[in-house]
Structure 1
Amino acid sequence: MSNAEATPEAVRCGSPDRAAAGVEVLSAREVPLGGPRALLVRRTIPQRARTLIGAWCFADHYGPVRVPAAGGMDMPPHPHTGLQTVSWLFSGEIEHRDSLGSHALIRPGEMNLMTGGRGIAHSEVSTPGTDVLHGVQLWVALPEAHRGADRDFQHYVPEPVRVDGAELRVFLGSLAGDTAPVRTFTPLLGAQIDLEPRAAVTLAVDPGFEHGLLVDAGDVRLEGTVVRPAELGYAATGADTLTLVNDADAPARTLLLGGPPFEEEIVMWWNFIARTHDEIVRAREDWEAASDRFGAVEGYPGRRLPAPPLPNAVIMPRRNPPARERAGDPGEPVVRRVDAERLYEIAVDGARAGLTAYRDRGDRRVFYHTEVDQGFARKGLASTLVEQALLDARAAGKRIVPVCPYVARFVKRHPEFADAVDRATPELLDWLRAELGPRS
């Protein structure tokens, strides 16, 4: 499935609703996919509280929705980079086509896994016989060593496994003595777990994994914390068992995801996963130019999906925030100059929290854009960042040209920099626009 938002964000930031017994509960946000008759999905990751669970980096949960009323799913050919997509249905049927030449149906209880490392394209359309569409679309980030992996497609139908009052279908990894013979690039767990009324089940899990329980139906207690439909309960590493309890008189249905913490920073925008803003720009340009990088999807009766405009800002890499940061203690910020990107960044616990970008022309350093991630707002980081950047520029013998409004306000409030500041002339602004190109 594509992230078909008209103005996709690099990462959606939020906060956990509640936490108890070491379990965080993440609420979903609704996202429309498509046009006027868009399919609404409930997205639980990524968000500010949690960008990834293991290598799982994207979870959309949709339906049940009656197809004649909503128009069903019709995702034209669209690209992916740096990831694997996992499709899993509870009801309905979707036709999949990709640029590898795969043509397959996605049915309930049958997993389709597509790999798009350097680039792949695919389409997804609900079939004419589908009355109710209901399922999840998941993405897995590829690690650095494999993010240029060749295109691939795998289909697997797991056999149900009974454990106490639960039925499990393990489609990735191992659980309850069952192992899925599916190739992945990092250790992963993916399983549907259906609980009978008033059932409780304790499952042995890898203590090196973190886990996320996405609830589809019923209220389920995960390690004593209630997780409601469309919510995701997160459990950190360290536990060798997980206990799920259904206290209701009706069945409950969940999806358990897991994996070892993914330590790499990633950039997510639209349907691309990369490591830098420039990689995202190149992927978008290649898709719009119809390059061979993504190939062609044969058999779809329509045009492919155009890429949305890029944001007028540098898309920053993100990783999961450390526990103390989520608790409100961001640690000591560090400012450093990143010459390769021509910016200064302020980092908190090693993760970029903000930046001020510049271009050099002769002995003048032109500051044109400053931003701080919304999760770090009102912590004084922008002031610290700009002050250290200006001190570094002055120490290097550079004249400071404050085109960025924030930097301009800062130097006005801090006359100690007045002897190093030059005004932005029309000629210099014309040069800067040409230097930055269309994104300016």
Structure 2
Amino acid sequence: MSVTEPHPQEQVLTPTPPVCTDGAKVEIITARDVPLGGPRAMTVRRTLPQRQRSLIGAWCFVDHYGPDDVSVSGGMDVAPHPHTGLQTVSWLFEGAITHHDSGDHHAVVLPGEVNLMTAGGGICHSEVSTQDTTTLHGVQLWTVMPDADRHGPRRFDHHAPDPVRFDGGEALVFLGSLLGDTSPVTTFTPLVGAEIRLEAGASISIDVDPSHEHGLLLDAGDIDLEGIPVAPGELAYTGTGEQRLRIRNNGDDRARLILIGGEPFAEEIVMWWNFIGRDHDEIAQYRAEWQDQADRFGHTRGYISHDPEGLTWLPAPDLPNAALTPRTNPAPVARPEKRI
């Protein structure tokens, strides 16, 4: 998925060492609505990045959308656009999306199957909801790649995890290890990602890696994390030092959640539009190369827009007049008072 805001904010993240928390504190991160381009643009709810917190482990981008009636929203139609220094993680609850990228990877993203695209030094791709999709519902996530790996080759991974069943629900572990299951998908820093389905009235205590910080995104249901209510669309954050997370479904219907986590990312980065780099000059170079359609990003074959007169590629927005400057990510400790 692309960032389609006309004036995207820069994101420069300063590393902070892991800090153990005293008890299970929870910080609530609320979403902001962001349109994905065009007069009939679908709207996503974005919880990362924002000023309150820009990273959870190496997770640097969380978009949550739907359930959307495609006949009203227009569905997803994102023309070829670039990425550097990150991995995109596509996860659907309902509907289907076609994926084409300049690594010559072509796939249909389906519910319950993770599709992970590694940009490395540069890639471009398109994402379009299929013609037979009537309802579109899911999440789009990014993870930042460390300096040692970010100039590497393009790649694409697909995995359909089997459900891990527990008393009161089940989970689909699409990255890392959780509940005794391990995903085979390659990441470049320690990460975890899973969809959790919790039946009405059920609760679960999940053992987690205390070196990780975590985020729990609620898609649907009436749940609390460590006794703190979480509303649909909110991202509940817990810092490092926790050994288990306790989740309870207080509603009459099954709840669905996305759990992400990872070791605090130990490098300073700049994130602007669809690029992740290390300083202003690098981002400016990526933008210039994309505008020139340089070899760095290659060429996406197979994109067919819903609009026959639509764009064939997404031009980059203008850089801000001032140099992109650092922004410090908070320490990996939950701040309950930051709920807004």
Using the size of structure 1 for normalisation, the TM-score is 0.71
Distance change (3 Å), C-alpha of 1:64 and 1:324: closer
**Distance in 1 separating the partners of 2:238 and 2:330:** 15
Count matched residues: 322
**Distance in 2 separating the partners of 1:325 and 1:168:** 25
**Distance in 2 separating the partners of 1:158 and 1:187:** 18
1:257 equivalent in structure 2: 260
**Distance in 2 separating the partners of 1:56 and 1:126:** 24
1:82 to 82, 85, 88: 85
**Could you tell me how far 1:4 is from its partner in structure 2?**
1.1
2:17 equivalent in structure 1: none
Matches within 5 A, 1:38-187: 38-187=41-190
1:406 equivalent in structure 2: none
Residue 8 in structure 1 maps to residue 17 in structure 2: no
Whichever of the two has the greater Rg, that structure is 1
Counterpart of 1:2, as a letter, is S
Q: Deviations over 1:124-162 (max 9, x none)?
A: 000000000000000000011111121000000000111
User: Unpaired segments of 5 or more residues in structure 2?
Assistant: 13-22, 305-310
**Distance in 1 separating the partners of 2:249 and 2:173:** 20
**Distance in 1 separating the partners of 2:188 and 2:334:** 29
RMSD, aligned CA? 1.9
Counterpart of 2:227, as a letter, is G
User: Unpaired segments of 5 or more residues in structure 1?
Assistant: 13-19, 329-440
**Could you tell me how far 1:300 is from its partner in structure 2?**
1.5
Counterpart of 2:221, as a letter, is G
Structure number with greater CO (CA < 8 Å, separation at least 6) is 2
Q: Could you say which structure has the higher helix fraction?
A: 1
Is the CA contact 1:265–1:318 (under 8 Å) kept in the aligned structure 2?
A: no
Is the CA contact 2:70–2:135 (under 8 Å) kept in the aligned structure 1?
A: yes
**Distance in 1 separating the partners of 2:294 and 2:94:** 36
Is the CA contact 1:99–1:122 (under 8 Å) kept in the aligned structure 2?
A: yes
Q: Does the residue aligned with 1:146 lie in a helix, a strand or coil?
A: coil
Q: Does the residue aligned with 1:286 lie in a helix, a strand or coil?
A: helix
Residue 23 in structure 1 maps to residue 23 in structure 2: no
Percent identity between the two aligned chains: 59
**Could you tell me how far 1:72 is from its partner in structure 2?**
0.8
**Distance in 1 separating the partners of 2:335 and 2:327:** 14
Q: Does the residue aligned with 1:144 lie in a helix, a strand or coil?
A: coil
Using the size of structure 2 for normalisation, the TM-score is 0.91
2:312 equivalent in structure 1: 303
2:15 equivalent in structure 1: none
**Could you tell me how far 1:21 is from its partner in structure 2?**
4.7
Is the CA contact 1:52–1:319 (under 8 Å) kept in the aligned structure 2?
A: no
Residue 34 in structure 1 maps to residue 34 in structure 2: no
Q: Deviations over 1:323-379 (max 9, x none)?
A: 799799xxxxxxxxxxxxxxxxxxxxxxxxxxxxxxxxxxxxxxxxxxxxxxxxxxx
2:214 to 211, 214, 220: 211
2:20 equivalent in structure 1: none
**Could you tell me how far 1:279 is from its partner in structure 2?**
0.7
Q: Deviations over 1:60-118 (max 9, x none)?
A: 00111011111111100000001000000000000000000001000100100000011
Residue 195 in structure 1 maps to residue 198 in structure 2: yes
**Distance in 1 separating the partners of 2:278 and 2:326:** 6
